[in-house]
């Protein structure tokens, strides 16, 4: 069984990552999580040991955060929350041309359809994965008629750029436009407008992977195949908490 640990990787580069680059960033994040988690449990592993163990885990276990299949959980949480806040013109700033971004776009459309809300093409704007590109995409989105009153963003940096564009247009977040991100980056709660986001529990994913890693290392025989599902959760902050 092949695994794919879902984590949002960020790069300072302006160009969108290729599929191979995204896989490499994801693997680097997993190695970092595993190294820290196993060290905290009294084991110090060399890089080649982590690489070998990761390969073994990938062949025999699945660890993800509900991103695929019924994996529209993350998007459903965000979209349902916007609807509950009274939003009826909900847009999406989509990520780069990668599987995760495609899944989130499909989840956005599915969630709106389930609630009887249309998703016109003008409400879906490519925003890649940076705050700068989120800013540019939101400026374009503000030209749409009717203007969106809620936006689900591919990740937190995109959402942060979107909020900047909204504020520059002399609109209020969340009273005019509510914004939700994804990832729960460490600074999401200290922004001028603290960001509502979906926490993907990447730390939990790393810890679960570390447990599987140690199980692989300590086992005297082949370990059983196991699927670990880590459920995302909505973290509500000011960017969606409307006063009326």
The per-residue pLDDT for range 58-72, each reduced to its tens digit, is 444 444 544 444 346
Please give the pLDDT value at position 99. 81
Reduced to 3 states (helix: H, G, I; strand: E, B; else coil), residue 199 is strand
Q: What is the domain partition of the chain in residue ranges?
A: 19-67+202-231, 73-198+235-240
131 pLDDT band, cuts 50/70/90, is very high
Share of the chain above pLDDT 90, in %: 44
Residue that wins the pLDDT comparison between 12 and 228:
228
- Answer whether CATH 3.40.50.2300 is correct for domain 73-198+235-240: yes
State pLDDT tens for residues 138-158: 999 999 999 999 999 999 999
Q: How far is CA 203 from CA 133, 185, 224, in A?
A: 26, 11, 23
Predicted TM-score (pTM) of the model is 0.71
pLDDT band for position 27 (50/70/90)? very low
Of 21, 16, 154, which Cα lies nearest the Cα of 93? 154
Q: Residue 152 burial by CB count (10 A; 0-12/13-18/19+): exposed, middle or buried?
A: buried
What does the alpha-carbon distance between residue 37 and residue 206 come to, in Å, rounded to a whole number? 7
């Amino acid at each position: 069984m092949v695994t794919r640990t879902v984590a949002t990787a960020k790069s300072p580069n302006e160009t969108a990552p290729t599929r191979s680059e995204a896989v490499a960033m994801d693997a680097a994040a997993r190695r970092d999580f595993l190294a820290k988690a196993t060290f905290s449990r009294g084991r110090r592993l060399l890089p080649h040991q982590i690489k070998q163990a990761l390969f073994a885990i990938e062949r025999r276990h699945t660890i993800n955060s509900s991103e695929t299949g019924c994996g529209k959980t993350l998007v459903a949480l965000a979209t349902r929350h916007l609807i509950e806040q009274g939003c009826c013109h909900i847009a999406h700033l989509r990520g780069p041309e990668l599987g995760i971004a495609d899944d989130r776009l499909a989840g956005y459309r599915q969630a709106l359809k389930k609630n009887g809300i249309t998703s016109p093409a003008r409400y879906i704007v490519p925003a890649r994965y940076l705050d700068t590109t989120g800013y540019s995409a939101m400026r374009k989105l503000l030209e749409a008629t009717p203007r969106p009153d809620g936006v689900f963003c591919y990740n937190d940096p995109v959402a942060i750029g979107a909020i900047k564009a909204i504020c520059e247009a002399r609109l209020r977040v969340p009273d005019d436009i509510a914004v939700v991100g994804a990832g729960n980056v460490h600074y999401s709660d200290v922004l001028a407008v603290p960001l509502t986001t979906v926490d993907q529990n990447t730390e939990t994913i790393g810890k679960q992977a570390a447990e599987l890693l140690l199980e692989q290392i300590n086992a005297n025989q082949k370990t059983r195949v196991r699927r670990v599902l880590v459920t995302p959760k909505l973290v509500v902050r000011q960017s969606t908490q409307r006063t009326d």
